[in-house]
Copies of this chain bind each other. A is one copy, B any other.
């Protein structure tokens, strides 16, 4: 007996990985962007035609991330992504075909990569806007199957945590960008109006290095181009204190 219980008498559970690919659209005519989620259409028999997240069952002794990589390639057309495990869905009734669990994984990817995957087979994949954890699925489908909306919620929270205080850490923009471009990306993720133009500049300018170059070809004064500064080691996930400690004041004698 290898285990505490006679586990060999029990069947194990089939574990799947489900992927939340997130990207940010290029600016529209008025400069606005959208946070987008990739969904795919099921082509096999069960719940055929329904829109869902790319997912795949793990082969024996496969890691979640390895399975995510294979799934991303085969079902989403994405060949490399920064994976991050977020949830475990374990309701035994979530799939009527049997006992399964799903590990939810988020992966922010550049828009061009997502767009190319969509164009490869536009019938089976789509990018849908996600605003404030509400998704607009194609064909008016109200929500994702198998309880996957929970993964979308956590994925959006994950992105907001990262875009709260760091300039485009997932590199939706290239190496250099203007402050307006940067803010349009952060607006898409944090929600418009989270930062005023003033606060945004003050919060993020100190985390950027000016390249000395300027934008051109657009109306208005050319904007300075910046690159991300060497980021300080973060470590904790806890919000930092706002005020740095000051020097102790000298007591009067």
- Residue ranges of A at the interface with B (Cβ–Cβ < 8 Å): 2-5, 7, 10-15, 44, 46, 56-64, 85, 87-88, 90-92, 97-99, 101, 103, 157, 160-161, 164, 194, 236-239, 241-242
Contacts and interface: CB of A to CB of B under 8 A. Distances in A.
B10 A238 contact: no
Contacts of A4: 44, 56-57
Contacts of A97: 2-3
Contact of A238 (B57, B160, B236): B160
The residue in A13, A44, A85, A194 that gathers the most chain B C-beta atoms within 10 A of its C-beta is: A13
A12 B46 CA distance: 20
A60 B99 contact: yes
Contact of A13 (B13, B85, B194): B13
Contacts of A12: 11-15, 99
Contacts of A60: 10-11, 13, 99
Contact of A7 (B57, B92, B157, B239): B57
A85 B91 CA distance: 13
Contacts of A5: 57
